[in-house]
Homo-oligomer: A and B are copies of this chain.
């Protein structure tokens, strides 16, 4: 499917697509991830810190797993997409370490033509797996895909998706840790699971200006082939007139920024939902803030607890003003990302 990509009519509910180019994740990828996003979570940064908790070594940043699994789906799913509409039911199922190889498969789980008939929403259930078939990541994504035309459009099938991943179903990618070995000075904060309150808002303070070279490096690193990200010549004659930054780049930048105030939120366990509210371009500066939406213990686990976090990315603004909606209920024009995550912290 390289090159042309599928159109709306090519997606048949029930079809399973095995995506091309499995990928072995290496320490080289993790260094680039570090250079692109500036993460400071001790578990992923220090083998010694991770080993003290019981990990065999530092695990791969959860979003690296996400990008690798996601990137493979682009040539088959979203090459002709107008927009990436949302994510749901994302669960990290098993820890991933450098040297692990991942591939992706997607099942078409929903289709709905738009009323105009020139495009349709396609839902795919994507699974990232090891060569032995073991799943490491599971999520649903829906995109608005161009209609090729000349063929009948399918009847709508709309999948039922959970608003939130059940906390009983998360934590599979986090081995039991020895929370007594957690060193607050090295992790950067003494605030653990019990120290956060539902409703609390956190200003993540810092900002990151995005450069064309950076997001292009990221997009190619994760083998994402969406042209809008790196074909500046073609983009000149597009409506938007320039290259678009890959949405996952924005997610990882927000995750990097989120360290300020959530230093011990070492693991993204689930993506309940997410929306790229507005595009981001080279030259824009991304900031982020969070709100704690919920907190839950995990069945049978006294080592870690889960915070449900609304992670909001905003650009060229002051994150401490917590921009979200305007007075008339529309998206604040500064907001570019609205993510809903379960993150784990030591107890």
Seen from chain A, the residues whose Cβ lies within 8 Å of a Cβ on chain B are 1-4, 18-24, 26-32, 34-42, 45-49, 58, 75, 99, 101, 103, 131, 185-189, 203-209, 211-214, 216-221, 223, 225, 227, 230-234, 243, 256, 259-261, 263, 283, 285, 315-316
Contacts and interface: CB of A to CB of B under 8 A. Distances in A.
A75 B30 CA distance: 22
A1 B186 CA distance: 11
A227 to B, nearest CB: 6
Question: Which interface residue of A206, A208, A220 has the most chain B CB atoms within 10 A?
Answer: A220
Given A99-B47, A232-B283, A38 B223 contact: yes
Given A21-B186, A26-B30, A208-B230, A217 B2 contact: no
Contact of A209 (B2, B28, B232): B232
A36 B206 CA distance: 24
Nearest to A187: B20
Given A214-B213, A233-B285, A20 B37 contact: no
The number of times this chain is found in the oligomer is 3
Contacts of A1: 188
A131 B48 CA distance: 7
A263 B20 contact: yes
A45 B30 contact: no
Question: Which interface residue of A26, A35, A187 has the most chain B CB atoms within 10 A?
Answer: A35
Given A27-B28, A28-B32, A214-B216, A21 B2 contact: no
A139 to B, nearest CB: 20
B216 A211 contact: yes
A21 to B, nearest CB: 4
Given A2-B259, A20-B187, 16 more contacts: A3-B205, A20-B263, A21-B42, A22-B45, A22-B49, A23-B46, A26-B30, A28-B29, A28-B30, A28-B34, A29-B31, A35-B218, A38-B225, A207-B233, A209-B233, A213-B214
Contacts of A47: 24, 99, 101
Contacts of A203: 3
Given A3-B260, A232-B285, A233-B207, A26 B27 contact: yes
Contacts of A48: 22, 24, 101, 131
24 contacts: A2-B260, A2-B263, A3-B203, A3-B204, A3-B205, A3-B206, A3-B260, A4-B205, A21-B40, A21-B187, A26-B28, A26-B30, A26-B31, A38-B220, A206-B225, A207-B231, A208-B230, A209-B216, A209-B230, A209-B243, A211-B211, A211-B213, A212-B213, A214-B216
Contact of A186 (B22, B45, B223): B22
Contacts of A19: 185
